Amino acid sequence: MLLEKGFAIMREKSTRPFPYDEDTNKITLPADIQKEIRHLVATGNKARAVSRVTKLTGAGLRVSKDYVDALTKPGER
């Protein structure tokens, strides 16, 4: 819990190119970045994909992981 608060403070200090909606936890990324995320997961780099989403959006780990899982689920998006 303390660690998550620390990460939240760090995220607040920086501006992200694709900020997520904090009220709905909705992440919207351009198609080229979605393709990059899918490629990372397909090549066994799921942790790197989640990290990339977090860095681009400022979303927390849970929100970023849920986004990556939904994005790479067969038949989604």
> What pTM, to 2 d.p., does this model score?
0.78
pLDDT at 6: 67
In whole angstroms, what is the distance from residue 68 CA to residue 46 CA? 8
- 29 within 8 A of 57, measured Cβ to Cβ: yes
Query: Each residue of 16-30: pLDDT tens digit?
Result: 889 899 999 999 999
pLDDT at 13: 60
Below-50 pLDDT ranges, the chain: none
- 59 within 8 A of 26, measured Cβ to Cβ: no
pLDDT at 74: 81
pLDDT at 9: 64
